[in-house]
Chains A and B, each alone.
Chain A
């Protein structure tokens, strides 16, 4: 049996880490998302693709309630992580964002040392009892982010002094330092060159053994390379979600086909 078929079987049998049901988002009077339903399988990478303004980033930001900080933004419907509603009043948003990490399009290290960039999250969440604990967390996170060999001799240097690709991996190290369950990535490679992109993609593939990843990308090749599930958004609607190899070889919806083959939809 082919590797691709095996992957789609594990996708079908994977436990559901997060689930969206009838999620609607409004910016003032304008509706940005029209009732999204999707299951995010655990330890898999789900990519969200679609043209600019289709709602994929808006949806991604629902998963750790980043839309809360936007004035006039209203979210309806249900999003659960491990079956627990995250939009409830009782949900502590700071706790939620510790469980659901985020990596942005442009690498945005804090204007602090490499060490402090990674230590910041664990410190505010009180995850390290001692300096030794913290050192361990920083080293582990940088190791998992594939950055340790490049920075181990200059942990006190500013994070902003690294190259773009290194900065992005630093941001990934920062995100995984607080031991999240889900990692959201919003076009994490669009500011990176192909080599740095390949490093991050390789990292994503390794990270999924520990975390569940949702990635927004404009590069369909990237979606094809890194994800097991692909969801196509168009004009605020989730048109189609399915195993990545099926979406890229035989999409069911003509709008998906038009988009991924570069035709006018």
Chain B
């Protein structure tokens, strides 16, 4: 970590930003984990609570925006300080989006509760959610410790989430073909899986921001996407 500023209050403000990101990251992770638990346990209370709690993440994003604007105007940060402030702004936007996806998982869970439980596909979604959740917590650790290697590892993990999403996509399509009564529930499950897949993408964006924060340059190579669901076709009679 770089040494302290001559003006101490500048350090205090930078630390505040870091603390707010840490808090937002913690909230995003617990929101996702609660949303996935609510889905697997068919827990209406928990799902409703996730929907309400999203406002806390939104409020933190507004606080971070305000703080960043103020610091740019009053401190004119440079070099690593400039990167810290810009990265905080970008990471908070990613976390806010992650919060929205978790909330959407909870909303769809409430809808699913109106229908009979169809399949055990929730298990795969829970595993996806667990991986995405640990990605959030690891990327926030990488951010707090300015750990470029850990950030890179998180980025690689997104492949697992993508692959699970692709296979889940195929499975759910097959279930729908088997019995049209499954279509409503399976469609919601598809969106839930897609939400979690998107969360993984936002986490990789955060890990790229951590790389920029530490190294001062953008991530070199584009990540190879493993989510093949957008080019997946399943026809009746196909074996999966």
CB-based contact B78/A250 at 8 Å: no
Of A248, A254, A263, the contact of B5 (CB 8 Å cutoff): A263
A64-122 contacts to B, CB under 8 A, are: none
CB-based contact A264/B4 at 8 Å: yes
CB proximity of B32 to chain A, nearest CB, Å = 34
Q: Does B131 contact A (CB under 8 A)?
A: no
**Closest residue on chain B to residue A220 by CB atoms:** B78
CB-based contact B216/A249 at 8 Å: yes
**Closest residue on chain B to residue A246 by CB atoms:** B216
Chain B neighbourhood of A250, CB < 8 A = 79, 83, 216-217
Q: Once the chains are docked, how many angstroms separate the CA of A224 from the CA of B77?
A: 12
CB-based contact A221/B79 at 8 Å: no
CB-based contact B2/A249 at 8 Å: no
CB-based contact A262/B10 at 8 Å: yes
Q: Does B224 contact A (CB under 8 A)?
A: no
Q: Once the chains are docked, how many angstroms separate the CA of A219 from the CA of B79?
A: 16
Of B6, B76, B83, B216, the contact of A263 (CB 8 Å cutoff): B6
Q: Does A37 contact B (CB under 8 A)?
A: no
Interface residues of B, count at CB 8 A: 17
CB-based contact A257/B10 at 8 Å: no
Chain B neighbourhood of A251, CB < 8 A = 79
Residue-wise interface mask of A (215-232) relative to B, using a CB-CB cutoff of 8 A (1 in contact, 0 not): 000001100100000000
Q: Does A258 contact B (CB under 8 A)?
A: yes
CB-based contact B6/A257 at 8 Å: no
**Closest residue on chain A to residue B4 by CB atoms:** A263
CB-based contact A261/B78 at 8 Å: yes
CB-based contact B217/A261 at 8 Å: no
Q: Does A260 contact B (CB under 8 A)?
A: yes
By secondary structure, the B interface counts as loop
Q: Does B81 contact A (CB under 8 A)?
A: yes
Chain A neighbourhood of B82, CB < 8 A = 248-249
Chain B neighbourhood of A221, CB < 8 A = 76
B8-31 contacts to A, CB under 8 A, are: 10
Of A224, A256, A261, the contact of B81 (CB 8 Å cutoff): A261
CB-based contact B79/A262 at 8 Å: no
CB-based contact B7/A262 at 8 Å: yes
Q: Indicate whether A262 sits within 8 Å of B2 (C-beta atoms), given known contacts A248-B78, A248-B79, A249-B83.
A: no
Q: Does B239 contact A (CB under 8 A)?
A: no
**Closest residue on chain B to residue A260 by CB atoms:** B78
CB proximity of B116 to chain A, nearest CB, Å = 56
B73-107 contacts to A, CB under 8 A, are: 76-83
Q: Does B3 contact A (CB under 8 A)?
A: yes
Q: Once the chains are docked, how many angstroms separate the CA of A258 from the CA of B80?
A: 10
CB-based contact A258/B78 at 8 Å: no
Chain A neighbourhood of B80, CB < 8 A = 257, 261
CB-based contact B216/A264 at 8 Å: no
Q: Once the chains are docked, how many angstroms separate the CA of A43 from the CA of B176?
A: 69
- List 19 A-B pairs, Cβ < 8 Å: A221-B76, A250-B217, A254-B2, A257-B2, A257-B79, A257-B80, A258-B2, A258-B3, A261-B2, A261-B5, A261-B78, A261-B80, A261-B81, A262-B5, A262-B7, A263-B2, A263-B4, A263-B5, A264-B4
